[in-house]
Structure 1
Amino acid sequence: MIGLLFVIFAALAPTVAAAQELTGSFGLPSADRTLTIRSTTDLAVMAPVIASYLTGRPDLRIDYEQWGSNDLYELTALDCRNEEAGADIVVSSAVHQMVRLVNDGCAATHRSDFTAALPAQLRWRDELWGISREPAVIVYNRERVPASEVPRSRFDLLDLLRPEDSPYRGRVATYDIETSGLGYLLAFADSLEASTFGGLMESFGRSGAVATCCSAEIIDAVIEGRYLLAYNVLGSYALARAEGEARLGIVAPADYTLILSRGAMIPNNGPARREAAAYLDYLLSPAGRKALEDALLLVRLDGEEGALLESPPDAQTIQRPIALTPALLVALDKHKRGLFRQRWRAAFPVTP
């Protein structure tokens, strides 16, 4: 296995697209075929999954590019408009952007037993598929937040932020919706789901909560105590970090927990469409699901065997999956997006 794998982690030089974050190459340099993946998923998280796929495939090399969600969307849309070959498969956590790309005719069709087995909410037009299962969670610092104050729901979080002398003033973080496509998606989903959304926005603004980027930075800041807790963080990244960090606590909100499934599409101009389809089928196969579960991209919640996150003993988390449907296009409507951003900026007037 080791002989078949080489990985290059590199911060890209300014001559390459500035928003591209990391690249990695897997497999033999002499491989006959190359599959190019562009994704928002951290390279370190996906490396074991890719390595498992390449076992027994010495004729294939995989080039992996890690991107921010907004920049990945813009690049993929540009490739589509210009009918240029770019990535062979695109995977993003900002699934509203993926729905837009499919709606704009940028995706190739693929059907297989594995895609057909997905529930309807995780596949659309045989061109977009949900490959993961990741809850949006609250993370907190176990050393700085007393057990009695750990927010188990959004109502608990509101109670923490309500007092004028709250120790949580200026010590709560969440994604900045203007720099994070995922952050925008989760906040928009909250606005549709939660009666608490308006109150949360008001409380965030009044208590000096911080809108910032990104998952790793937010989680690190909570562990270090710069923030006491953070809201709407992807549970997959939090669980991975918590494996070696006792200071990090994780809560799946009991009032409801948003469940994200990263969207995968095969661009219609990709040069290795067959290889892309085979890789997608692997991710949806039992072997691929096991690899994704080991990478903490398929998270089990309360009531499920092997659950990694549990609700309080007296509560059952209500799961709210974000379905891959045209309804997500509403999140990208220019007028609605403008109004939503104005409301957000009223709570977070300055981005650090």
Structure 2
Amino acid sequence: MIRAVFIALLLLAAPARAQELVRDFGPGSATETLRLRSTTDIAVLGPVVEAFLAAHPGLRVAYEQWGSNAMYGLQAADCAAGRAGADLVISSAVHQMVDLVNEGCARPYRSALTAALPDALSWRDELWGVTREPAVMVYNRDLVAPAQVPRSRFDLLDLLRPTESPFRGRVATYDIERSGLGFLFAFADSTEATTFGGLMESFGRSGAIATCCSAEIIDGVAEGRFFVAYNVLGSYALARARHDDRLGVVAPQDYTLVLSRAAMIPRAAGQPRAAAQFVDFLLSEEGRRALEAALLIVRLEGGDGAPIELPQASETLQRPIALSPALLIVLDAHKQALFRARWRDAFPATPDAVP
């Protein structure tokens, strides 16, 4: 009952309930259509879809891009109604995906490639981690002096501590009320970081901004409305930094959360075979190369590649977010209420941006 009420609240919070963007890939003459719902920007995952279709000429993909909370609510509703909606779902809000699997909303599939995944990236042959994306800090190179660039959460605290800090009102992060991914990252921090309480207090005292989504936050940093952004999904930040010299991207040296977007074939999928083929492609060598080119796989072991700033390869402490029933605690109604109340104390108002 508590879960049903929570899903209903999510649906009410997003009354439009429409996908953000849609795009069809592949020939109109294709004999099969795979309906893909994902929180991943079409511009980011699109080249990977095209690489998959190159080997499947009789298939087309109808891609729907959704916000995580709205997609979670829709998938739960489809599941409860036994309704065929998406054939494959890929979400960055992996705690929501674990819940859908736990509620019997997924169709099992097993292949040599899914079986080869480590336990942390596979659950019950129904959920698979297909990317590797760090949570990073992003800063404006023109506005933040090299000596001030935060390399850890402790550094960020130091920047916000002075009463007259120039960083007041110029630090941004996800609004956990609107972003399932933002909630997941913040909750993971609360269990990992001794700095979490201090960060919440500093965010509140310094007027930090909680806002909607990756693109909005990164745009704000590039344009100088924000000096630093905290806990941003690294794949999007690095994709922008490739073409925008104003942006610097840092993997925090105290620890770096690493997310693997979760893929699931819904129980009522109309094209489960095509969905399974796409899952296997994402896990294949060719698919991994395509994901790495799209910066949906980011390596934190140093060397050439994505322009991410690391302290030293040997010192990057990675904290992968495992796909497991332990994530269900993130959706516990009581814990969510307490966590959201703590968040609202730090962010009593969430203006879109500072002037």
Give the TM-score normalised by structure 1.
0.94
CA offsets, 1:3-40, max 9 Å, x none? xxxxxxxxxxxxx9544100010111111001000000
- CA–CA distance in structure 1, aligned partners of residues 52 and 193 of structure 2: 40
- 3-state SS in 1 of match to 2:100: helix
Query: 1:308 deviation in Å?
Result: 4.2
| Conserved? CA contact 2:136–2:233, under 8 Å | yes
Structure 2, unaligned runs of 5 or more: 1-14
| Conserved? CA contact 2:221–2:247, under 8 Å | yes
- CA–CA distance in structure 2, aligned partners of residues 109 and 302 of structure 1: 33
Q: Is 2:147 the counterpart of 1:151?
A: no
Instruction: Tell me the amino acid that sits aligned with residue 237 of structure 2.
Output: A
| Conserved? CA contact 1:100–1:329, under 8 Å | yes
Query: 1:184 deviation in Å?
Result: 0.1
- 3-state SS in 1 of match to 2:135: strand
In the other structure, the counterpart of 2:196 is 197
In the other structure, the counterpart of 1:11 is none
Structure 1, unaligned runs of 5 or more: 1-15
| Conserved? CA contact 2:161–2:202, under 8 Å | yes
| Conserved? CA contact 2:138–2:221, under 8 Å | yes
Instruction: Tell me the amino acid that sits aligned with residue 251 of structure 1.
Output: V
Q: Is 2:256 the counterpart of 1:266?
A: no
- CA–CA distance in structure 2, aligned partners of residues 245 and 221 of structure 1: 13
In the other structure, the counterpart of 2:299 is 300
Q: Is 2:247 the counterpart of 1:217?
A: no
- CA–CA distance in structure 2, aligned partners of residues 321 and 313 of structure 1: 18
Q: Is 2:325 the counterpart of 1:326?
A: yes
- CA–CA distance in structure 1, aligned partners of residues 96 and 312 of structure 2: 37
The farther-off stretch of 305-314 and 17-26 is: 305-314
- CA–CA distance in structure 2, aligned partners of residues 264 and 23 of structure 1: 19
Change (3 A) 1:313 1:288: closer
The farther-off stretch of 56-65 and 158-167 is: 56-65
Query: 1:48 deviation in Å?
Result: 0.6
> RMSD over aligned Cα, in angstroms?
1.3
Instruction: Tell me the amino acid that sits aligned with residue 253 of structure 2.
Output: A
Query: 1:313 deviation in Å?
Result: 4.3
Change (3 A) 1:26 1:171: same
CA offsets, 1:59-111, max 9 Å, x none? 11100000000000000000000000000000000000000000000000000
- CA–CA distance in structure 2, aligned partners of residues 184 and 19 of structure 1: 21
In the other structure, the counterpart of 1:5 is none
In the other structure, the counterpart of 2:206 is 207
Equivalent residues in 2 for 1:73-152 (5 A)? 73-152=72-151
Change (3 A) 1:63 1:154: same
In the other structure, the counterpart of 1:50 is 49
Q: Percent identity?
A: 67
In the other structure, the counterpart of 1:71 is 70
In the other structure, the counterpart of 1:277 is 276
- CA–CA distance in structure 1, aligned partners of residues 280 and 16 of structure 2: 30
In the other structure, the counterpart of 2:182 is 183
CA offsets, 1:311-340, max 9 Å, x none? 224971100000000000000000000000
| Conserved? CA contact 1:301–1:307, under 8 Å | no
- 3-state SS in 2 of match to 1:76: helix
In the other structure, the counterpart of 1:241 is 240
- CA–CA distance in structure 2, aligned partners of residues 144 and 333 of structure 1: 40
In the other structure, the counterpart of 2:9 is none
Instruction: Tell me the amino acid that sits aligned with residue 40 of structure 2.
Output: T
Paired residue total: 337
Query: 1:56 deviation in Å?
Result: 3.4
- CA–CA distance in structure 2, aligned partners of residues 246 and 35 of structure 1: 38
The farther-off stretch of 56-65 and 307-316 is: 307-316
The farther-off stretch of 299-308 and 190-199 is: 299-308
- CA–CA distance in structure 2, aligned partners of residues 211 and 144 of structure 1: 20
In the other structure, the counterpart of 1:40 is 39
- 3-state SS in 2 of match to 1:299: coil
Query: 1:306 deviation in Å?
Result: 4.0
Change (3 A) 1:217 1:307: closer
Change (3 A) 1:304 1:82: farther
Give the TM-score normalised by structure 2.
0.93
Query: 1:351 deviation in Å?
Result: 1.9
The farther-off stretch of 286-295 and 54-63 is: 54-63
- 3-state SS in 1 of match to 2:173: strand
CA offsets, 1:36-65, max 9 Å, x none? 000000000011101111113221110000
